[in-house]
Amino acid sequence: MPKQKTLFEKIWERHVVADYASSALLYIDKHLVNEVTSPQAFDGLRLANRMLWRPNSVMATADHNIPTKNRQAGMHDRVAQQQLEALEGNCAEFKVNYFSLQDPRQGILHVVAPELGDTLPGTTIACGDSHTTTHGAFAALAFGVGTSDIEQVLSTQTLSMPKLKSLNIQVDGLLPEGVFAKDLALGIIRAFGTDCGAGHVLEFSGSTISALSMEARMTLCNMATEAGARAALIAVDEVTLAYLKDRPLAPSGAEWDAAAAYWRTLNSDPGAIYDKQLRFDANTLAPQVTWGTTPAMTASIDETVPTPDSIADPSARKAAENALAYMGLRGGEAIRAIRLDKIFIGSCTNSRIEDLRAAAQVVRGKTVAASIKQALVVPGSGLVKQQAEAEGLDRIFIDAGFEWRDAGCSMCLGMNDDRLSAGERCASTSNRNFEGRQGHGGRSHLVSPAVAAATAIAGHFCLPGELQ
């Protein structure tokens, strides 16, 4: 009887070029390139007099360090300008498909590739960004890689990889009203830790996952890297196929029929054995808010900030003490009582059209609190922005007092002018709340778009249904 295989094993085995004792050489189908992590890789190719192995497998656009307003005035600093010029020059020289800042398809790579149908099931994907795990929502084995890896993929179409283990997190239950994929991701990381997936490819399964939209699945897989996972996967189902059908770069006609037939096999066989299995009950999950400096330092919105003395493990207790000192919080404070300075709705985690619709529904007819210094809505791509504007979402946000921006990573990592100042506190739909992540000394609280929107109106953490 043939061995029952996990989804990870099926994709991995189809892409192994050479198998070694503790590592493998993996064929990479698709490579996504941005302006921050690629210049040195192209320089390496140039110095070695190498060309790209398969230029049409590469898609490039600037996203990390670009302005999200007044683009006609140019880049915000010299380094950003040099990065943009290097990307444009490298793409022209090496004949890479590049979306300029004027192209409506420009945006965050992890939003752009899926919406164009360039992320396809059963493929392998590499990108110089840790949140490449996002593409696992399509049963694509997708890795964030470093600059030397980028050069290897560009020149050889392969990636040297350690042999990874498999982790399955089965999630069952019905998400309560007002609870979203972002809350699910934070709840899982809170329960199992930021290292539960270290050295593993994390496959999400279960009734809760099957009920999620593709955009929600992308949010969940995006956050898998915050659980330490090297990649994330969700099996193909009819939701996957419905999303991909008729996308500009997806197969069509007879090619679609053949592809879809193969894609339907991309699931773990019954009885397949994982190296590690965990279970999570979604029935009682509440909206989540991070209080500390890792995504695991999370509480439900109805809870209080934990008191370090209540934490038994000495290292975890010390980490909590350090986090509270940085965040300017005291143990025992009600999460709802924490007041905010800025609001950020965007990032590769939560900047798709469903996220913007959820936030707009909350703020419609309301006004951002006077205590909020700045509230940003940054679409994930030019196409998301176009669709939101066609639906009138931009006017809802602007009328409420939000700033409506061009596509980009924006305040997620504070590389451009969208950042926090020291001591400022932000409710953010992004993926990381590390010290200084959104600006030196800035304090980040990760939340869903709905909670971020409600918090903008109330001035403190709040649920949409509680707004007057």
Q: Are residues 32 and 125 in the same domain?
A: yes
Q: Are residues 152 and 140 in the same domain?
A: yes
Q: Is residue 365 part of a domain?
A: yes
Q: Are residues 296 and 243 in the same domain?
A: no
Which residues in 131-148 are b (16+ Cβ under 10 Å) and which e? Answer: bbbbbbbbbbbbbbbebe
Q: Are residues 120 and 196 in the same domain?
A: no
Q: Is residue 1 part of a domain?
A: no
Instruction: Write down the pLDDT at residue 19.
Output: 95
Q: Is residue 287 part of a domain?
A: no
Q: Are residues 273 and 375 in the same domain?
A: no
Number of structural domains found in the chain: 3
Q: Is residue 57 part of a domain?
A: yes
The string of pLDDT tens digits covering residues 29-78 is 999 999 999 999 999 999 999 999 999 999 999 999 999 998 877 777 88
Q: Is residue 2 part of a domain?
A: no
The string of pLDDT tens digits covering residues 231-289 is 999 999 999 999 999 999 999 999 999 999 999 999 999 999 999 999 999 999 999 99
User: Which residue range(s) make up the domain with 453?
Assistant: 292-466
The CATH number given to whatever domain includes residue 150 is: 3.30.499.10
**Is 348 marked as a binding-site residue?**
yes
**Is 412 marked as a binding-site residue?**
yes
Residue 254 neighbours by CB under 8 Å, 6+ apart: none
**C-alpha–C-alpha distance, residues 379 and 404, integer Å:** 8
Cβ–Cβ under 8 Å, residues 30 and 118? yes
Q: Are residues 229 and 250 in the same domain?
A: no
Q: Is residue 286 part of a domain?
A: no
Q: Where are the alpha helices (DSSP H) in 364-468?
A: 382-390, 393-400, 449-458
The string of pLDDT tens digits covering residues 200-211 is 999 999 999 999
Q: Are residues 404 and 309 in the same domain?
A: yes
Q: Is the pLDDT of residue 22 over 70?
A: yes
Q: Is the pLDDT of residue 9 over 70?
A: yes
**C-alpha–C-alpha distance, residues 155 and 67, integer Å:** 31
